[in-house]
């Protein structure tokens, strides 16, 4: 088992690229490192069957919506590929692309706890207004985790 | 694209349920953007929160747009589709004809043909923006614009509601952290 098991939540924003660069420069040269890129996407909304016209419209365009989600998964794989090229070993690199069921902080906390990650690299959302409305992911994660190193990129 | 009405009561029902069934703003707005892209058959949709001091529109949720386009740089309400700051809807039916965009080149490269931008208000104050992006020219009907304005108001209510709910949860967590011994020590 790797000495450092790192979780890097990735949301395709510029700050995530910065977090990726940090992971690469800090851990890329180490042998006993395992890194997991994690993205929780918004699953397509469930619509009750009685809303026939909406269902009809959505069904018609469902392939477009699904295709967009698949594109994101491919983008995450491309990020993994980038990490491979910079020195991380293939068997030490993983991606998790899953539908989100709750807020992103709760998803991260659950994953770290269940899968025994000992390092989390997370970014500090720079936007004041969006943080005001959605809450701070990093402060929720930091206050909930124990025995975990949390690296914050801002 | 024609200007027949696309937003009917069933779309409102689906949107209202998406809002009512979630207390997580990012999940809720994520569903809203998907619903609007699916039902209006458009390229993408974004919901922004307005930072009142800097005037920056900060992305809350988006669907259908590439990460390259979303990472193009900060979006400012006074530079990007300017009239949004005045609280009016802005309809750019054909991107080729207009010069209102902060990032016109990036929009063209993304394959955006038309944009509809609507203010998200709460008690008459701008707190964000709802933007819809079409692949091609878009003759959106006046009725659909009216419906979208109402929808933007509902989003404003949902944003404020979830903010209050988050504050309430924080108060509850803080109260739960107070040990009875500490409470007694301060004369409770």
User: Which residues lie below 8 Å from residue B129, measured CB to CB, with a gap of 6+?
Assistant: B47, B48, B50, B57, B77, B84, B117, B118, B119, B120
A131 contacts A125 by C-beta, under 8 angstroms? yes
- The answer to whether the Cβ–Cβ distance between B35 and A58 falls below 8 Å is yes
Q: How many CB pairs under 8 A join A and B?
A: 100
Confidence of residue A19 (pLDDT cuts 50, 70, 90): very high
Q: In this predicted model, what pLDDT tens digit does every residue of B147-179 receive, in sequence order?
A: 999 999 999 998 998 888 888 888 888 888 888
- Predicted confidence at residue B167, as pLDDT, reads 86
A58 reaches B (C-beta below 8 A): yes
Report the distance separating Cα A39 and Cα A122, nearest Å. 12
- Predicted confidence at residue B103, as pLDDT, reads 85
Q: How far is A40 from chain B (nearest CA, A)?
A: 10
User: Which residues lie below 8 Å from residue A78, measured CB to CB, with a gap of 6+?
Assistant: none
- Predicted confidence at residue B85, as pLDDT, reads 56
pLDDT at A102 over 60: yes
- Predicted confidence at residue B128, as pLDDT, reads 93
pLDDT at A93 over 70: yes
A31 secondary structure, DSSP code: S
pLDDT at A7 over 80: yes
**Chain A residues within 8 A of B151 when measuring between CB atoms:** none
**Chain A residues within 8 A of B63 when measuring between CB atoms:** 42, 65, 68
A139 contacts A27 by C-beta, under 8 angstroms? no
Q: What average pLDDT does the segment A5-16 reach?
A: 92
As a three-state string, the secondary structure of A59-113 is: HHHHHHHHHHHHHHHHHHHHHHHHHHHCCCCHHHEEEEEEECCCCHHHHHHHHHH
- Predicted confidence at residue A69, as pLDDT, reads 86
- Predicted confidence at residue B98, as pLDDT, reads 66
Report the distance separating Cα A147 and Cα A105, nearest Å. 17
**Assigned token pair, B172:** 């509850």
Report the distance separating Cα B128 and Cα B149, nearest Å. 12
Nearest by CB to A51, from B13, B34, B56: name it.
B13
Q: In this predicted model, what pLDDT tens digit does every residue of A23-77 receive, in sequence order?
A: 988 988 888 899 999 999 988 877 654 555 565 666 556 677 788 888 889 999 9
State whether the Cα torsion A73-A135-A132-B87 is positive or negative: positive
- Predicted confidence at residue A53, as pLDDT, reads 59
- Predicted confidence at residue A45, as pLDDT, reads 77
Provide ipTM, 2 decimals.
0.80
pLDDT at A150 over 60: yes
- Predicted confidence at residue B188, as pLDDT, reads 55
pLDDT < 50 positions in chain B = 1
- Predicted confidence at residue B82, as pLDDT, reads 59
Interface probe for B, chosen from A10, A40, A42 (most Cβ of B below 10 Å), is A42
State whether the Cα torsion B153-B158-B159-B165 is positive or negative: positive
- The answer to whether the Cβ–Cβ distance between A134 and B25 falls below 8 Å is yes
Q: In this predicted model, what pLDDT tens digit does every residue of B63-81 receive, in sequence order?
A: 999 988 998 888 877 766 6
Interface probe for A, chosen from B21, B26, B61 (most Cβ of A below 10 Å), is B26
Q: What is the mean pLDDT of chain A?
A: 85
- Predicted confidence at residue A145, as pLDDT, reads 92
Q: What is the pTM of this model?
A: 0.85
Report the distance separating Cα B132 and Cα B1, nearest Å. 14
**Chain A residues within 8 A of B59 when measuring between CB atoms:** 127, 130
**Chain B residues within 8 A of A104 when measuring between CB atoms:** 26
Report the distance separating Cα A133 and Cα B21, nearest Å. 18
A112 contacts A54 by C-beta, under 8 angstroms? no
């Amino acid at each position: 088992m790797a000495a450092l098991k790192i979780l890097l939540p990735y949301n395709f924003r510029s700050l995530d690229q910065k977090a990726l660069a940090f992971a690469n420069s800090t851990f890329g040269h180490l042998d006993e490192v395992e890194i997991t890129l994690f993205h929780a996407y918004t699953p397509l909304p469930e619509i009750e069957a009685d809303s026939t016209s909406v269902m009809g419209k959505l069904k018609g365009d469902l392939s477009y919506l699904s295709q967009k989600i698949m594109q994101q998964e491919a983008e995450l794989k491309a990020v993994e590929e980038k990490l491979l090229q910079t020195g991380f070993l293939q068997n030490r690199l993983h991606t998790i692309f899953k539908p989100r069921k709750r807020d992103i902080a709760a998803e991260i906390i659950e994953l770290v706890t269940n899968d025994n990650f000992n390092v989390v690299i997370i970014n500090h959302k720079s936007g004041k207004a969006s943080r005001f409305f959605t809450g701070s992911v990093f402060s929720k994660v930091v206050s909930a985790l124990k025995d975990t190193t949390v690296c914050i990129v801002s | 694209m024609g200007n027949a009405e696309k937003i009917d009561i069933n779309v409102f029902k689906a949107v209202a349920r998406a809002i009512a069934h979630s207390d997580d703003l990012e999940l809720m707005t994520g569903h809203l953007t998907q619903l609007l892209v699916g039902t209006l058959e458009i390229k993408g949709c974004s919901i922004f929160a307005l930072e009142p001091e800097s005037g920056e529109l900060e992305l809350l949720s988006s669907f259908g747009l590439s990460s390259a386009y979303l990472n193009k740089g900060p979006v400012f309400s006074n530079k990007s589709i300017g009239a949004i700051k005045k609280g009016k809807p802005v309809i750019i039916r054909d991107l080729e004809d207009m010069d209102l965009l902060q990032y016109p080149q990036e929009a063209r490269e993304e394959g955006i043909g038309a944009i509809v931008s609507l203010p998200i208000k709460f008690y008459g104050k701008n707190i964000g923006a709802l933007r819809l992006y079409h692949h091609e020219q878009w003759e959106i009907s006046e009725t659909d614009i009216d419906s979208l304005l109402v929808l933007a108001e509902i989003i404003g209510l949902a944003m404020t509601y979830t903010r209050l709910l988050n504050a309430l949860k924080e108060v509850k967590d803080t109260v739960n952290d107070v040990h009875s011994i500490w409470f007694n020590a301060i004369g409770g």
